[in-house]
Amino acid sequence: MSTSHPDVVVVGAGIAGASMAIVLGRAGIDVLLLERQPTYRDRVRGEYMAPWGVLETRALGLEDVLRSTHPVDGRYSATFDELIDPSMAAGARRDNSRFLPDVAGPLCASHPKSCAALSEEAVRLGVKLVRGVADVRLQTGPRPTIRFRNGQQATVRPRLVIGADGRASTVRTQSGITLNTCPPTHQVTGLLADGASSWPEDFYTIGVEGDLMFYVFPQGTGRVRLYTCHANAQAKRWAGPGGAQRMLDTFAQLRAIPDEMRLDTLTPAGPCATFSAEQTWCATPYADGTVLIGDAGGYDNPVDGQGLSLAMSDVRHLSELLVNSDDWTADALRPYGEQRAERLRRMRRVSTTFAGLMTCFSAAGRARRARFYEASRAGRQDVQAALAAIWIGPERLPADAFTDELHDALLAVVA
């Protein structure tokens, strides 16, 4: 298989990789986009975009592409918790349009549909997309070499390889880039379900009951994405052929959800998959001829749903650097790496605090949540400062909103 030598090879045509290909393609940069999946399938992640991520997507000129898949805006949300009367929780719903100007709230979308729309737009702009790619081999250097199979062997020598190939990134491994890891504090399971006819399409919830933290994110037409966070010791809680139905039965029995919104008529619409909630990061997410974006460069604990927003921020920062300078050397990539490392550090601090508040299912954990809710209702400034980045992002707050001193003090006060 012969191919030209493009300026950039993007490995991974998921949301981050396809978005990067579009932005670079629009700027006249020759891009080859490689994807191992012949068709996009449900990956049980990457379907909630925080309000600040919507602004990142808008800045990239990609919001209309995502909206072509008919996502829903989660304008309203409430915390449904065993500690709060369901009707009171529903009555105290939050208007998420107040966080950022001209953003209705977080965006809840289908991951496969988003990937497909973005990759189709990339192709429309002249990006060459190769699917069914296997055996990717990378040799780094000022002019890297990348080899792959797609029926037959191909060799390409671009100026830059961008790794957007997810958590188990081949590009990262073969580039020799170090991945740092904090062990998971809990497990996360996701399941797509149909039949939520009584669930409002502009409303989502994050709550706790018993030994579960649970999430309900709407996708329109009665479809919802369900998640649970549960103890590491219960990694196989929803495993096996009957796991999806057991998970649905559990959601149907949640007493924290108001009766008028009960989820007792759901059927599975996708796989039920569990993954661990560790935190990972690359202090230096680049090497000679290679740079990482999205989960390939490290990812946060998904407890507060920041993955998609962080990925779009990566795309914006890196694409601005590449479009505005002809110097793509490792030294020139350093500002991107430093900015990215700080963004991810800030959000790791926030997610650690949020997990500490919401994923401890003991009597002490319930007491801590009760004091946290009381402090939130009282409008305590330390609570607002510590968690505001979940909605407005890591770059709209001062550095002292992400210090260990602030977050440890908050956890100590409500402990």
* Residue 60 structural domain: 8-65+109-182+279-344
Residues 291, 386: one domain? Answer: no
Residue 1 covered by a domain:
no
Q: Provide the pLDDT for residue 161.
A: 98
Residue 286 covered by a domain:
yes
Domain count across the chain: 3
Farthest CA pair distance, the chain: 65
Residue 2 covered by a domain:
no
Q: What is the pLDDT of residues 62-111, one digit of tens each?
A: 999 999 999 999 999 999 999 999 999 999 999 999 999 999 999 999 99
182 — pLDDT class (breaks 50, 70, 90): very high
Could you give the strand order of the β-sheet that contains 107-108, starting from the edge strand earlier in sequence? 48-49, 107-108, 72-73
Residue 71 covered by a domain:
no
Domain boundary among 254, 276, 298: 276
Q: Percent helix, strand, coil in the chain (nearest 5)? A: 40, 25, 35
- Whichever domain contains 120, its CATH number is 3.50.50.60
Decide if 278 contacts 181 (C-beta within 8 A).
yes
- 407 CB contacts (<8 Å, ≥6 apart)? 349, 350, 352, 353, 386
Residues 144, 57: one domain? Answer: yes
Domain boundary among 291, 315, 344: 344
pLDDT > 60? residue 120? yes
Residues 150, 205: one domain? Answer: no
- Cα 321 to Cα 178: distance, rounded to the nearest angstrom: 23
Residues 285, 152: one domain? Answer: yes
Decide if 182 contacts 278 (C-beta within 8 A).
yes
Q: What is the mean pLDDT of residues 13-17?
A: 97
Q: Provide the pLDDT for residue 412.
A: 86
Q: What is the pLDDT of residues 349-406, one digit of tens each?
A: 999 999 999 999 999 999 999 999 999 989 888 888 999 999 999 999 999 999 999 9
Q: Provide the pLDDT for residue 151.
A: 87
Domain boundary among 344, 367, 388: 344
Indicate the average pLDDT of the chain. Answer: 95
Q: Provide the pLDDT for residue 43.
A: 78
Q: Provide the pLDDT for residue 95.
A: 97
pLDDT > 90? residue 42? no
Decide if 411 contacts 356 (C-beta within 8 A).
yes
Structure tokens at 74: 């989660």
Residue 200 covered by a domain:
yes
Least confident among 1-5, 161-165, 394-398: 1-5
Residues 59, 141: one domain? Answer: yes
Q: What is the mean pLDDT of residues 157-163?
A: 97
Q: Provide the pLDDT for residue 319.
A: 98
Residues 47, 156: one domain? Answer: yes
Residue 72 covered by a domain:
no
Which residue is listed with tokens 């605090």? Answer: 353
Q: What is the pLDDT of residues 346-359, one digit of tens each?
A: 999 999 999 999 99
Burial of 123 (0-12, 13-18, 19+ CB in 10 A): middle
